[in-house]
Amino acid sequence: MAEQTALADIGDDRGGRPDSAVVRDALGVGVAVGLSGFAFGVTSAGGGLTVWQTCALSLLVFTGASQFALVGALAAGGNPLTAAAGAFFLGVRNAFYGLRLSQLLALPRAVRPFAAQWVIDETTAVSLAQRDRRGARIGFAVTGFTLYVLWNLTTLLGALGAEAIGDTDAWGLDAAGPAVFLALLAPMLKTATERAAAALAVLLGLGLLPALPSGVPVLVAALAAPLALWAEGRRKGRARDDAGEDEDEERR
């Protein structure tokens, strides 16, 4: 019922923020994150991919975390199929974003296939932060366009720069990808369950790194999410049982 009320309010297109404020915030997000495409370009080219392969990933895949996961696994000598699988699992979250945004934005059917390319963390966050459908559409479009253009431009610059400077490891630029990945991930860890899942994933990934082929620890680390959710469900179940026992004792 609360979800239906929220959607009804969004559909009214009343009480939203001024368009200029939405555009300002969307541009801020798009520019800030778009510039990190330089780090991806450097990481990808330093990992052995050509400039054109690097640019193709940004143009066609366009989901930063998945791109970093793919080139990181390949740079470490991982199997291409394993690296692609890890990137795929990270990218699956965008499908769930799309389910929510399809209701929120209510775009014409002819536009949806093109808009799907821009369904990522940043466009979803900016869209959901708005109070009406008009603001959500503006936020989505401005964030998506700005980020797509800048990400691809800086990817090209980063790849060309990596080729020019030679060995990226000697400059310490091999750490750029993981650093940006963590910077994108950290703000999303808002609840105790999310932080627990992230910590468990780190432990699994690093702990299994010496024992398993490159890329496989990333796939195993994905098990952290269902394990953390299972533990959270158990905790809530015990809390409900304890509350029920307390009520029974009070009745007696």
Q: Does 229 have pLDDT greater than 50?
A: yes
What predicted TM-score, i.e. pTM, was given to this entire model?
0.66
Q: 92 — phi, psi (to 5°)?
A: -60, -30
Q: Could you tell me which residue, 35 or 78, shows the higher pLDDT?
A: 35
Residue 167 has pLDDT above 90, yes or no: no
**Among 126-135, 136-145, 194-203, which range has the highest average pLDDT?**
136-145
Q: How far apart are CA 252 and CA 163, in angstroms?
A: 77
3-state secondary structure of 248: helix
Q: How far apart are CA 36 and CA 44, in angstroms?
A: 13
pLDDT of residue 234: 82
pLDDT tens across 140-151, in order?
999 999 999 999
Of 31-35, 135-139, 175-179, 191-195, which range is least confident? 175-179
Q: What's the confidence (pLDDT) of residue 60?
A: 92
Average pLDDT of span 215-231: 78
Supply the mean pLDDT for the chain: 79
- Whether 5 has a pLDDT exceeding 50, the answer reads no
Q: Write down the pLDDT at residue 198.
A: 83
Looking at mean pLDDT, say which of 65-74, 110-119, 170-179 comes out highest. 110-119
Average pLDDT over residues 11-18: 62
Mean pLDDT score, 227-243: 79
Task: Report the pLDDT value the prediction gives residue 52, as an integer from 0 to 100.
Answer: 92
Q: Burial-class residue 138 by CB neighbours within 10 Å (0-12, 13-18, 19+).
A: buried
**φ/ψ (deg, to 5) at 58:** -70, -35
Q: pLDDT-derived band of residue 224, with 50, 70 and 90 as boundaries?
A: confident
